[in-house]
Structure 1
Amino acid sequence: MISRSNAKAADEPLAEINITPLVDVMLVLVVILLVMAPMLTRTLHIDLPKVAAGAPEPRDHAVTVSLDAHGKLAIDDREIAPDQLEPTLRRIATLSDRTVVNLRSDQSQSFGAVANLLAKISHAGIAHVAVVTANAEPRN
Structure 2
Amino acid sequence: MISRSNVKDTDQPLAEINITPLVDVMLVLVVILLVMAPMLTRTLHIDLPKVAANAPEARDHAVTVSLDAHGKLTIDGRDIAADQLEPTLRRIAARDDRTVVNLRSDQSQPFGAVANLLAKIGHAGIAHVAVVTANVVPRN
TM-score with structure 2 setting the length: 0.63
For 1:133 and 1:60, locate their aligned partners in 2 and report how far apart those are by CA, in whole Å.
21
Q: Is the 8 A contact 2:53 2:137 kept in 1?
A: no
- Give how far 1:136 is off: 5.0
Any idea what the Cα deviations from partners look like across 1:73-107, whole Å, max 9, x if unmatched? 00000000000000000000001110000000000
In structure 2, the gaps of 5 or more residues are: 1-44
Equivalent residue, structure 1, for 2:78: 78
Runs of 4+ in 1 over 2 A off after TM superposition: 45-48, 135-138
Name which structure has the greater RCO, CA cutoff 8 Å, separation 6+. Answer: 2
C-alpha deviation, 1:135, in angstroms = 3.1
For 1:33, the equivalent position in structure 2 comes to none
Tell me which moved more, 92-101 or 128-137. Answer: 128-137
* Change over 3 Å in CA distance of 1:96–1:111 after alignment to 2: same
Q: Where does residue 64 of structure 2 map in the other structure?
A: 64
Cα distance in structure 1, aligned partners of 2:98 and 2:137 = 32
Structure 1 residues without counterparts, runs of 5 or longer? 1-44
- 2:76 counterpart letter in structure 1: D
- Give the equivalent residue in structure 1 for 2:51: 51
Match of 2:101 in 1: 101
Cα-to-partner distance string for 1:1-43 (whole Å, 9 max, x where unaligned): xxxxxxxxxxxxxxxxxxxxxxxxxxxxxxxxxxxxxxxxxxx
Percent identity (aligned): 86
Partner residue in 1 for 2:130: 130
Q: How many positions carry a matched residue from both structures? A: 95
- Kindly provide the amino acid, as one letter, of the partner of residue 65 in structure 1: V
Shift of 1:57: 1.5
How far apart in 2 are the matches of 1:57 and 1:136?
13
Query: What's 1:92 paired with?
Result: 92
